[in-house]
Structure formats: C-alpha cells, structure tokens
Amino acid sequence: MSEERLRTQLYDSFKNRAILYYLIFDELRGELGAERAEEIIKRAIYRRGQQKGERYAAYAPDDLEGLKEAFVGGIPDGGAMFGPEVLRCDAGALDVKFHNCPLRDAWLEMGLAGEEVATMCRIAARIDNGTFEAAGFEFSADTWQPGGEGCCHLHIRPGR
C-alpha cells in the first residue's frame, strides 16, 4: 500500500470520527436538548481522553519538555494533520497552537454553521482535558471560534 493511500485513509478516519461525534450529538440533542446533549457527549469524550492519558503520565507532574516531545512528536502525518506550533515550552508552561484540524474541517465541509462548528470543537476538545488531566497536568484550551485563525490553543501546566 502506498504512503499516499495510507495518508488518505488516516485523514478519512479523522473525518469519520468528526461525523460520528456530530451525528451522536445531534441525536442526543433531539432527545434531550442541546445543553444536556453537550454535557453527556463531553463526559464520554473526556473518559476516552483519560484512557489515553496513561501514555503521558511518565512526564507528570512537570517534565513539560518531555511531554512536548512525546505529544507534539506523535501528531499524525509528521505533524501536518494539526499543524502544531509550540508557542511556549519552559518549566512553567507548554502552550501549543494548532493551525489545522481535520475534525473542524469535516464539520465545515458538512455545511455546519460557524457557531455549531464551535460547539463541536468545544465538545471534541474534551479529549485533551481528559488526556492531560489524567496524566497529571493542569490543562485548559481555547477552542476554535468563527472567524478565528487556526484551531485549538492548548495550555498545559505542571500538575500539583
């Protein structure tokens, strides 16, 4: 199998993930309302992040350089998929700005309005909360907003 075919399959799998997130959210929203639906799907995605957090636990509570190498170095397609830019990496903080996002792109491609895409980005970002908090770090993210440049901006701090 060619490298290009594998790359296409990889991007398609992320697109599929985005579509599933949206369809599950949309079904829950129809049954429970938008607020309750968002709360439920965020909890599930957070739990998946907690499962992923094990891979970064060895860097907690404060090896942000090691975490950067493991996390940023592990982004699919040599980093191209999310286009990470490390804005800060020192003893006090690891800040990473993503310039691409295949999930956001899939939602835009589906024709979702900007505010709905922003909601989906907020929902999907909970995987990062789960990942880094379970690994032992403090974490927050600024997710994509309509008219914004790039995508998520991750803020990782040493754990307690």
> Per residue in 98-150, pLDDT tens?
999 999 999 999 999 999 999 999 999 999 999 999 999 999 999 999 998 89
Burial of 151 (0-12, 13-18, 19+ CB in 10 A): buried
Pick the CATH number of 3-157 from 3.40.50.12780, 2.102.10.10, 3.30.1380.20, 3.40.50.300: 3.30.1380.20
Are 160 and 138 contacting, i.e. CB atoms less than 8 angstroms apart? yes
The strand order across the sheet containing 94-98 reads 84-89, 94-98, 153-157, 138-142
Are 159 and 103 contacting, i.e. CB atoms less than 8 angstroms apart? no
At 39-61, the pLDDT tens digits run: 999 999 999 999 999 999 999 99
Rounded to two decimals, what is the model's pTM? 0.95
Are 41 and 21 contacting, i.e. CB atoms less than 8 angstroms apart? yes
DSSP 22-76: HHHHHHHHHHH-HHHHHHHHHHHHHHHHHHHGGGGGGGTTT-HHHHHHHHHTTST
Write down the pLDDT at residue 17: 98
Q: Which two tokens stand for residue 37?
A: 């639906």
Q: Give the ranges where 53-139 is alpha helix by DSSP (H).
A: 64-72, 102-109, 114-124, 126-135
Write down the pLDDT at residue 117: 98
C-alpha–C-alpha distance, residues 82 and 134, integer Å: 22
Write down the pLDDT at residue 1: 82
User: In whole angstroms, what separates CA 78 from the centre of its chain?
Assistant: 17
Q: Which two tokens stand for residue 32?
A: 């429970």
